[in-house]
Amino acid sequence: MFSTLFAFAHLSIAQIKTYDGPPTTPQRYDSSSRYIDVDHIGLLKGQALYFPPRIEKADYEHIYQSYLEKSVYQPGADPRLSRYDAIAGKYFRIHDIVERKEIYDDNRTHSNSHPYYFKLKDKTGGNAIYYHITTNGIKTHSFSPTYPFIIVGLYEKIKKDWLNKVIVLVDSYKKNFTDRITKQPISVLTGERWTCTDVVVAPYTEELTYNNEHLIALILKSDHGTEIMVNHSWLTDENVNSRSPRIYYTEAEASEYEHKLGQKHWLAMLTRTPQIGMSPEMCRLMFGPAKDEALSAVKNKQILVQRYWNYILQFENGKLKAIRKLEKN
């Protein structure tokens, strides 16, 4: 049903068997989102969840034998937590979603929780267990979700979309990457092509810098054979946001822009350096939407002024004529 997942860092690479539990018919689910949307939480019914092994092998919170929360599932050393080896590395199917709204009407209690419980069954179809969704598992304006499982449908969607995809990274995105094999720092060349050779489930590391317990990461390989591991959400959440500057271009886009603009302007776009003769569209790709824009007509000339956080740009008839760099406050 789904592809092999791998665990990295201090975890040994392990092949995960295909889920072969009781058949279910998942409802329509938007697997392009890594968030649990409480307004449409019912769409997760039928989805498979994978609990990746943890480096620290810590026992699990919020897993119970009943949605009444009288006792946890297979208690560990701490009776409030479920034993690590009872959960880690296993697949579960969401058979139902239980709502206990009556105990959440008083907002002075369960202030960090939601009244939803996933009723889970493993591939044997045995006794159900319940996972309680807390605020940390819900997308908000202030933080991303932190739940201990991977939604398999999301992993499959990302792997289908990214495997063998070729991209060019914008220079300002070229973080302090290290070679995945040698662990040595590397320098990413401007305009260099990177091919996604695998999609993996990886634990938190400082290099990937993420607040989830596990994340979906891309293995990117350069034309020179260098491999890096990149947090998938960095390349997705920012890049699909129309209010943000581009942080990568697909191979097709890179070839098109390089051919149409010439190498000088193309490399300038990758370094986010405005050049005389650029178009307003090129500058929007580099910096995102302008903070302010003013359009006027002077002696048969269309004058456009764009203000960005670091530049004021003036265009005449669609071509950049003047550049003013703003000093940082």
- Within this chain, do residues 50 and 145 fall inside the same structural domain, yes or no? yes
Query: β-strands 48-50, 150-151: how paired?
Result: antiparallel
- Please say if the pLDDT value at position 213 is more than 70: no
Q: Which residues pair with 314 in a beta bridge?
A: 305, 322
22: in domain: no
In this structure, the answer to whether residues 250 and 325 fall within a common structural domain is: no
Is the predicted pLDDT of residue 46 greater than 90, yes or no? no
Nearest of 154, 172, 173 to residue 162 by alpha carbon: 154
Give CA–CA dist 285/77, Å, rounded. 53
Helices then strands (H, E): number in the chain?
Answer: 5, 15
Cα–Cα distances (Å) from 14 to 4, 7, 63, 310, in that order, read: 9, 7, 25, 47
Q: Which residues pair with 202 in a beta bridge?
A: 215
Total structural domains within the chain = 3
Residue-wise pLDDT for 146-184, tens only, equals: 678 888 888 888 899 999 999 998 886 666 788 888 888
The whole-angstrom separation of Cα 66 and Cα 70 is: 7
- 30 found inside a domain: no
Q: Is residue 310 part of a domain?
A: yes
Residue ending a domain, choose from 241, 258, 273: 273
Q: Which domain holds residue 319?
A: 277-329
H or E stretch including 167? strand 166-169
Q: Is residue 137 scored above 60 in pLDDT? A: no
The dihedral over CA atoms of 84, 89, 90, 93, expressed in degrees to the nearest 10, equals 110
| 191 φψ region: left (φ > 0), alpha (ψ -120 to 50), beta (else) | left
| Whether residues 139 and 43 fall in one domain | yes
Q: Are 101 and 61 within one domain?
A: yes
Q: Is residue 18 part of a domain?
A: no
Q: Is residue 119 part of a domain?
A: yes
- Predicted confidence band at 274 (pLDDT cuts at 50, 70, 90)? very high
Residue 2 lies in a domain: no
d(CA 165, CA 155): 16
> Is 245 a residue whose pLDDT tops 90?
no
If you search the block for the tokens 């992993």, which residue do you land on?
A: 155
Q: 148 and 61, same structural domain?
A: yes
| Count of beta carbons in the 10 Å neighbourhood of residue 83 | 17
Are 302 and 248 members of one domain?
no
Query: Hey, what are 317's tokens?
Result: 């008839």
Q: Residue 72 is encoded by which pair of tokens?
A: 């946890």
The letter for the amino acid at 325 is K
The answer on 42 and 153 residing in a single domain is yes
In terms of average pLDDT, the best of 38-42, 126-130, 148-152, 262-266 is 262-266
Q: Which of 78-82, 109-113, 197-201 has the lowest mean pLDDT?
A: 109-113
Cα–Cα distance for residue pair 270/258, rounded to 1 Å: 11
244 with 302, same domain: the answer is: no
17 lies in some domain: no
Same domain, 136 and 177: no
Could you tell me if 286 and 186 lie in one domain? no
Assess whether 253 and 199 both reside in one domain: yes
The reply to whether 127 and 43 lie within a common domain is yes
Q: Supply the pLDDT for residue 143.
A: 39
What is the crossing angle of helices 263-270 and 280-287, to 10°? Answer: 30
Does residue 23 lie in a domain region? Answer: no
Last residue of a domain, one of 157, 173, 190: 157
Count of alpha carbons within 13 Å of 320, Cβ hemisphere only? 20
| Encoded tokens for 79 | 């009776």
